[in-house]
Homo-oligomer: A and B are copies of this chain.
C-alpha cells in the first residue's frame, strides 16, 4: 500500500514539486521525475548475449524511454554473430574491446550465464562500463563494491512464487 504521506516524503528527498494548498502540476511533476530518474537523456548501452532473453530485452521498444540507447549487441556463438537484433548486427567477442574504446558505451545488459559474466566482468569494467543490468547470478558488488549493478534474479523470483503457492492455505481461518 502506497500512502499519500509516503509519496510526499519521497518527493521531498528531491525537492518540493507542488504548492501547498494548491496541489501538484502533474505534467511538470512527471517531467521532473523523469529528470530525477535520468530517463530524458540516453546512456549508450551494449547487449551481451543475444539468446531469447537478450532478444526480449533488446526489442523492448522503450529502452530509449527508460534512459538508454542500445548501440551494439554481442554474442559468442558463430551461429548468431552477424544476425540482426533490434536493428543491430550482432558482433563477436573479438570486436568488444575496440568497439568500447571507440564508442564508449557506459552500460551493459548481461544475458549470458553466470560463469560467462564472471569471466567478462573485469574486462567490461576496464573498458569503461559503469552500469550493469545483470540477469545472471554473478555478484558484482561482492567483487567490485563500487560498480553500479541492478540485478534481476529470476531464480529467486520464481522460488518466491513456489513458496507462496506451496503455503497458500496455511493462514486461512480454520473453523
Contacts and interface: CB of A to CB of B under 8 A. Distances in A.
The SS class assigned to the A binding surface is: helix
Interface residues of A, number: 42
Contacts of A20: none
Contacts of A68: 158, 162
Nearest to A111: B56
B56 A162 contact: no
A7 to B, nearest CB: 16
A45 B15 CA distance: 46
Interface of A: 36-39, 41, 43, 51-53, 55-57, 59-60, 62-63, 66-68, 106-107, 130-133, 148, 150, 152, 154-155, 157-168
